[in-house]
Amino acid sequence: MYRYDEFDARFVAERVEQFAGQVARRLAGELSEDEFKPLRLMNGLYLQLHAYMLRIAVPYGTLAPRQLRKLADVARRFDKGYGHFTTRTNMQLNWPRLADVPAILRELATVEMHAIQTSGNCIRNVTADHFAGATPEEIEDPRPLCEIIRQWSSLHPEFTFLARKFKIAVGATVHDRAALLYHDMAVEIVKNAEGRTGYRVSAGGGMGRTPYIAQLMCEFVEREDILAYLEAVLRVYNQDSRRDNIHKQRIKILVNAIGAEEMRRRVAREFEEIKAQGYLRLPQEELDRIAAYFAPPKFEPIAEPVAEYEAARTKDKRFADWCAHNLAAHRAPGYAIATISLKPIGGVPGDCTSEQMEAIADLMDAFGLAEIRVSHEQNLVLPHVKKRDLPAIFARLSELGLATPNAGLVTDIICCPGLDYCDLANARSIPIAQKIAGRFADLKRQEEIGELKIKMSGCINACGHHHAGHIGILGVDKKGVEHYQLQLGGSGAEDAAIGEIMGPGFTAKEITDAVERVVDEYLRLRQPGERFLDTYRRVGMEPFKNVAYLEQLHAAY
């Protein structure tokens, strides 16, 4: 993985002291809260319902054991002993004190971490496929480009006071695991007809109150021109975006107001100019230099099948279940990609205690695993595990309460912190996710249901990606009472789609039953091989709507 050199290290250290100065000016009253707000936000510090919240960047979701230990350490020393992994693959501390934040940032800097641009109206932490570098499907590891984007976007002098936030994701596989098209800008690593590797760039995706799928900006950008292209998109956005209504200032609104064609034209003009001036050209040596940091570990030649692994699967049903759901194919024979679910039934999706983080770091050291990933689905991923080590790893994860065999199943719910923590939320989301997971706890039933992505947000800002859920749940406030709207048919994958709203919301008491009836109706209607999403796309909303409101109908008579 990437390692800071003297320049990166000094940059982050000075940024910490700069922020410490801003905190001091705020505490001394030299900055008003209104003036401090954008400054603290662009360093990841929110003022939430009950306390400050610090969002720590995990660039493209990659962590080394020493970084995981440091996260555990700051969570214990400066917070309540746990952290929350988010849909932008960052980690949030929910209870830090303002005066402690500079000290936390100094600690993070010792392991090459920071909170730069995890919030605010600037270019946010860039995300990638959490199977990057390990999946056999990809053209190349997307993370070197992510790191190049991270550096280019860090304190960008022109794009630090944008109209709104700006999120970028990079993928390199046909199967999209990074919700690419829901981003302000999506970069897909592709090969052109001549077999040359380059980038397909889309822009204008987003969730929030007006969800849009990103539209194609350029089919093929040459490798050396990618920063020029990204800068061109950002410049058009910064110049032309509305600034008069906070709800209409994301790039998605601009793209849809002027149309994709006009947006492409404006971007192309900037792009040609930047390209001609040459100052953002990325030389191959720079690409190679950064890519070298992400070289995969030396894979041992291991013959398949791996006897110890196969034997353990035959012998231990629990291990076999975990393997069936939490492992993915690896590029090297004898290896697997293992998902550590942070969705124990009844737990808080995405939460991880300091003890768990430390134990995972120990486990990584014990098995020679140099890195771990945070996924946008709020799980952790061990990208390069030898299959023969899996039984021992599973045993250890089981002791830690981290071996829930539900990756990709109906209880693997994405969920925002909601009204339990968040200042923006209209409704609680964690207790609802917990109740739904409890309802479907039986693994046999989950397996019968198959791939079904439930995503839940406690307000219209959609941090829980409800628009992209096969079943999306949106918490709303109806005259002071929490209600939950159902949306069906969304997808954040390569078949990206925005879920359709079913109708009036359900109460907290009704929503779990409504979800269960929808799922049961799918089981009744589905044809062989169909996922929930496929059945929904075939039959539409009507049959699900007919069963979902049963309780309300009974109540009305």
Residues in 136-165 at the binding interface with another protein, rule: CB under 8 A: 151-152, 154-163
Is there binding between residue 273 and another protein (CB under 8 A)? yes
Q: How far is the CB of 272 from another protein (least distance, A)?
A: 11
The minimum distance between CB 7 and another protein, in angstroms, equals: 4
* Residue number with CB closer to another protein (122 or 352): 122
Site for another protein in 531-550 (CB under 8 A): none
239 binds another protein (CB under 8 A): yes
CB of 208 to another protein, least distance (A): 18
**Is residue 21 part of the contact set for another protein (CB under 8 A)?**
yes
Contact (Cβ atoms closer than 8 angstroms) between residue 538 and residue 551: no
Q: Which residue's CB is nearer to another protein, number 262 or number 551?
A: 262
**Region from 16-24, 68-76, 87-95, 368-376 binding another protein, contact rule CB under 8 A:** 16-24
Q: Are 363 and 396 in contact (CB under 8 A)?
A: yes
Hey, CA dihedral for 108, 55, 492, 318, is it positive or negative?
positive
Of residues 6 and 194, the one with the C-beta less far from another protein: 6
Calpha distance 180→175 (Å, rounded)? 10
- 409 is a site residue for another protein (CB under 8 A): no
Distance CA 353, CA 363 (A): 15
C-alpha distances in Å from residue 368, one per residue of 62, 130, 382, 433: 16, 19, 11, 35
Amino acid found at 513: D
C-beta atoms surrounding 430 within 10 Å: 22
Which pairing describes strands 168-171 and 127-128: parallel, antiparallel, or unpaired? Answer: parallel
Under the criterion CB under 8 A, does residue 300 sit at the interface with another protein? no
Minimum distance of another protein from residue 421's CB (angstroms):
25
Least spacing, CB of residue 279 vs another protein, in Å: 4
CB of 52 to another protein, least distance (A): 19
Site for another protein in 156-215 (CB under 8 A): 156-163
- When asked if residue 7 is in the footprint of another protein (CB under 8 A), the reply is yes
Is residue 227 within 8 Å of 282, Cβ to Cβ?
yes
Q: What residues are paired with 83 via a beta bridge?
A: 352
List the alpha helices (DSSP H) in 333-450. 354-366, 390-399, 430-439, 443-449
Under the criterion CB under 8 A, does residue 38 sit at the interface with another protein?
Answer: yes
Spatial separation of the C-alpha atoms in residues 375 and 496, rounded to whole Å = 18
The letter for the amino acid at 103 is A
- Minimum distance from CB of 189 to another protein (Å)? 21
Question: In the set 10, 209, 247, 265, which binds another protein (CB under 8 A)?
Answer: 10
Total of residues contacting another protein (CB under 8 A): 37
Whole-number Å distance between alpha carbons of 282 and 110: 29
Whether 73 and 65 have beta carbons less than 8 Å apart is answered as: no
Cβ nearer to another protein, comparing 188 with 225: 225
> Scanning the structure block, which residue is given the tokens 């709207």?
485
**Contact pick of 67, 92, 121, 446 for another protein (by CB under 8 A):** 121
Burial class (CB in 10 A: 0-12, 13-18, 19+), 129: buried
Q: Is 280 in the site for another protein (CB under 8 A)?
A: yes
- Give 272 or 399: the residue with its C-beta nearer to another protein: 272
- DSSP letter at 248? G
Using CA atoms, how far residue 202 sits from 156, 236, 258, 264, 450, in Å, is 21, 14, 15, 10, 31
Q: CB under 8 Å to 123, separation ≥6 — which residues?
A: 117, 153, 156, 159, 162, 166, 168, 234
Residue 376 engages another protein in binding (rule: CB under 8 A): no
Q: Name the E strands within 387-478.
A: 414-415, 454-457, 471-478
Q: Indicate the residue type of 488.
A: L
CB of 517 vs another protein, minimal distance in Å: 46
Stretch that binds another protein, among 5-13, 441-449, 508-516, 523-531 (CB under 8 A): 5-13
Q: Provide the mask over 413-452, with x wherever binding to another protein is found by CB under 8 A and - wherever it is not.
A: ----------------------------------------
Structure-token pair, residue 201 = 């760039």
Q: Does 315 bind another protein (CB under 8 A)?
A: no
Q: Cα angle at 425 between 154 and 411, to 5 degrees?
A: 90
**In the complex, minimum distance from the CB of residue 175 to another protein, in angstroms, rounded to a whole number:** 32
Q: Which helix (H) or strand (E) holds 47?
A: strand 45-47
In the bound state with another protein, the residue whose beta carbon lies nearer, of 26 and 428, is 26
Residue 5 lies near another protein (rule: CB under 8 A): yes
Work out whether 15 is an interface residue with another protein (CB under 8 A): yes
Q: Which of 137, 222, 286, 534 binds another protein (CB under 8 A)?
A: 286
Q: Which stretch binds another protein (CB under 8 A): 2-10, 176-184, 306-314, 540-548?
A: 2-10
d(CA 520, CA 550): 13
Given the structure tokens 């990584």, which residue do they identify? 364
35 binds another protein (CB under 8 A): yes
**Distance of closest approach, residue 122 Cβ to another protein, in angstroms:** 9
Strand pairing partners for 69? none
Q: Is there binding between residue 14 and another protein (CB under 8 A)?
A: yes
Closer of 240 and 500 to another protein (Cβ)? 240
In the chain, % helix, strand, coil (3-state, to 5) comes to: 40, 20, 40
CA dist., res. 24 & res. 319, Å (int): 52
If binding is defined by CB under 8 A, does position 235 make contact with another protein? yes
Residue among 3, 143, 126 at smallest CA distance from 64: 3
Q: In the complex with another protein, which residue's Cβ is closer, 138 or 147?
A: 147
Q: Which is nearer to another protein, 224 or 362 (CB)?
A: 224
Q: Are 211 and 192 in contact (CB under 8 A)?
A: no
43 contributes a contact to another protein by CB under 8 A? no
Judged by beta carbon, residue 275 or residue 343, the one nearer another protein is 275
Nearer to another protein, 19 or 532 (CB): 19
Interface ranges with another protein (CB under 8 A): 5, 7-8, 10-11, 14-15, 17-18, 21-22, 30, 35, 38-39, 121, 151-152, 154-163, 235, 238-239, 243, 273, 277, 279-280, 286
